């Protein structure tokens, strides 16, 4: 015999209702948890009894004052007695004026020998290059420079090594015309040693000159000139 189920005992028809009630219950609990507030507890400060245990008795110390040293005894006053009859020496001031008949001694001023280099630009009498002796004094400086340029052009020779390597540039040469008119102290500065060596050779072939003079005395005169090496 087959059993028949009572339709009133079937709980599946209430499943949607139960689910809706459970969902509402969960939402209510979540809302209450979010809205829950806590408050800090406040204490009444008057009810707290704080014992004053930190108060310590500080002993009173007596400050010992050192008495100041006694003042030094006053120095005795020394009174000098000056006699009124003491003779005072008179200071005689002699006149510094000289009489017209006074003989004035001539003082000879010995000029010290000038032992210093005088630049070519400010020397009184410039050194004389051979061939400039008969030129006016005002034109001797120009004559000297023109003779130097002609000497460089005449003795100029471009180094073969510098030509092969394509080296060119300007070599600055400085030398000194001594008191005897000879050339000394040649110094060169340029872009290549071969060019410097050639410039040194050209200047060393300069002839002996008449030395420059300052206050009528021969002096050493430094002179500088550039030597240009340029490839065509």
DSSP assignments along 2-30, one per residue? -----GGG-GGGGHHHHHHHHHHHHHHHH
pLDDT (0 to 100) of residue 228:
93
**H/E segment holding residue 148:** helix 140-155
CB 196 within 8 A of CB 93: no
Q: What is the token pair recorded at 161?
A: 């090594």
Domain segments of the chain as ranges? 137-229
Tell me, what DSSP letter sits at residue 100? T
- At residue 77, the pLDDT reads 55
Contact at 8 Å (CB) between 186 and 203?
yes
Q: Assign 214 to helix, strand or coil.
A: strand
CA distance 178 to 46: 112
pLDDT (0 to 100) of residue 178: 95
Coil, strand or helix at 91: coil
Q: What is the pLDDT of residue 107?
A: 38
Mean pLDDT in consecutive groups of 10 residues from the start of the chain, 232 residues: 58 76 88 76 49 54 65 60 54 54 43 73 93 91 94 94 92 95 95 94 95 93 94 82
Report yes or no: 213 and 165 within 8 Å, Cβ to Cβ.
Answer: no
| Residue reference for tokens 């100041």 | 68
| pLDDT at 149 (0 to 100) | 95
pLDDT on residue 45: 46
| pTM, rounded to two decimals | 0.51
What is the CATH code of the structural domain delimited by 137-229? Answer: 3.30.1150
Note the pLDDT of residue 124.
Answer: 93
């Amino acid at each position: 015999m087959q059993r028949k189920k009572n339709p009133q005992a079937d709980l599946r028809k209430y499943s949607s209702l139960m689910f809706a009630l459970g969902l509402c219950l969960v939402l209510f609990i979540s809302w209450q948890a979010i809205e829950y507030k806590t408050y800090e507890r406040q204490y009444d400060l008057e009810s707290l009894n704080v014992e004053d245990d930190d108060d310590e008795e500080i002993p009173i110390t007596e400050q010992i004052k050192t008495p100041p040293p006694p003042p030094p005894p006053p120095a005795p006053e020394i009174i000098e007695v000056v006699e009124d009859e003491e003779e005072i020496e008179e200071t005689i001031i002699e006149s510094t004026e000289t009489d017209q008949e006074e003989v004035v001694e001539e003082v000879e001023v010995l000029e010290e020998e000038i032992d210093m280099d005088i630049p070519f630009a400010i020397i009184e009498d410039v050194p004389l290059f051979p061939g400039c002796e008969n030129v006016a004094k005002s034109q001797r400086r120009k004559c000297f420079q023109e003779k130097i340029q002609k000497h460089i052009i005449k003795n100029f020779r471009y180094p073969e090594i510098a030509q092969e390597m394509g080296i060119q540039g300007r070599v600055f040469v400085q030398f000194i015309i001594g008191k005897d008119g000879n050339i000394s102290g040649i110094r060169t500065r340029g872009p290549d040693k071969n060019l410097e060596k050639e410039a040194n050779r050209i200047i060393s072939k300069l002839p002996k000159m008449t030395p420059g003079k300052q206050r009528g005395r021969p002096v050493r005169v430094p002179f500088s000139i550039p030597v240009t090496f340029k490839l065509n």
